Amino acid sequence: MVLITGGAGFIGSNFVLDWLANSDEPVVNLDALTYAGNLENLASLQGDVRHIFVKGSIGDFDLVAKLLADHQPRAVINFAAESHVDRSIHGPGEFIQTNIVGTFNLLEAVRAYWCGLQDDARAVFRFLHVSTDEVYGSLGTDDPPFAETNRYEPNSPYSASKAASDHLVRAYHHTYGLPVLTTNCSNNYGPFHFPEKLIPLVMLNALAGKPLPIYGDGQQVRDWLYVKDHCSAIRRVLEAGRVGETYNVGGWNEKPNLDVVHTLCNILDELRPRADGKPYAAQITYVKDRPGHDRRYAIDATKIERELGWRPSETFDTGIRKTVQWYLDNQPWVQNVTSGAYKQWVGKQYGGD
């Protein structure tokens, strides 16, 4: 079996669902259920004995040690993190605790477990750390996309904390021989995306008749990847990645934010037109820029294709259409995640209610 951390979040829950759709190998899912963790994402697994959910933190050494001893996983895949840049600007403390101290405690528990394994189990064991392209900093318009050899230049508390966790993972391989793999992925989108992030926030605000907030001039560029393609890349790296290596994962889909928002508006105009017949783009509103806003991210995903034969299967056009349809079809999920604490975040970040 495999131990997954953060498997009730956006990417983690997609990964658990896809994993169990592709194999019968059981999953232990350790998640602290912060505001971003949602067991509703995993509702379709209710009663499935292949999924064992445990509420708890990667920072809890004793709990992780016990889970490892009890379940003897062949791999640990670490998704657990604080993941939202804007929240890291308002309050970096949680990012330091979870992404740095939490990853450290997790690595310590995994190291102790791995050292105690028999030779054959030790040889096949893997620790896969899920990270981000944001550790490389910001690109200029004409710079080549991020390769694995780019230097780390994180610019936000979030990306700095992820960079620190990547360095710890690297050091545990170099110093202790822990068989690690690291993936650095670009922006994901798809089902179960928490609506603090651009794509789901814009969709939900559009449908609710609220402003669609564009930070600064809206010309910041992100490289978008459908979440299920990220999941397949992680499965492939786990299966065949070279120990100690990092793999950049991206969609070859660079888009300025304003283009992404216009695409969302156009699809909604077609699938769910506004009652007054006006276009959703009329709701676009320019707001104050994010402090230290990275201008451009882009991933060179050549290495993972060359070594492991992975390429994304969705284009932005196919993936974004599926995503809009998913949100239209899953309004009860939307209503549940946007009640309660979510409202407080929106008030703090954007003002009003």
Residue selected from 42, 85, 169, 204 as contacting ligand DAU according to rule CB under 6 A: 85
For position 102 contacting ligand NAD by CB under 6 A, the verdict is yes
Q: Counting beta carbons within 10 angstroms of the beta carbon of residue 106, is it exposed (0 to 12), middle (13 to 18) or buried (19 or more)? A: buried
Instruction: Return the one option of ligand NAD, ligand DAU, none that residue 195 interacts with (CB less than 5 to 8 A, by type).
Output: none
| Closest distance to ligand DAU from the beta carbon of 291 (Å) | 12
For position 260 contacting ligand NAD by CB under 6 A, the verdict is no
Q: Which is nearer to ligand NAD, 57 or 283 (CB)?
A: 57
For position 134 contacting ligand DAU by CB under 6 A, the verdict is yes
For position 154 contacting ligand NAD by CB under 6 A, the verdict is no
- Known catalytic membership, residue 86: no
Residue selected from 28, 32, 164, 261 as contacting ligand NAD according to rule CB under 6 A: 32
| Closest distance to ligand NAD from the beta carbon of 268 (Å) | 21
Sole window of 59-67, 103-111, 208-216, 248-256 interacting with ligand DAU (rule: CB under 6 A): 208-216
Catalytic residue among 134, 166, 223, 314: 134
For position 254 contacting ligand DAU by CB under 6 A, the verdict is no
Catalytic residue among 158, 189, 247, 327: 158
For position 210 contacting ligand DAU by CB under 6 A, the verdict is no
For position 65 contacting ligand NAD by CB under 6 A, the verdict is no
Catalytic residues: 133-134, 158
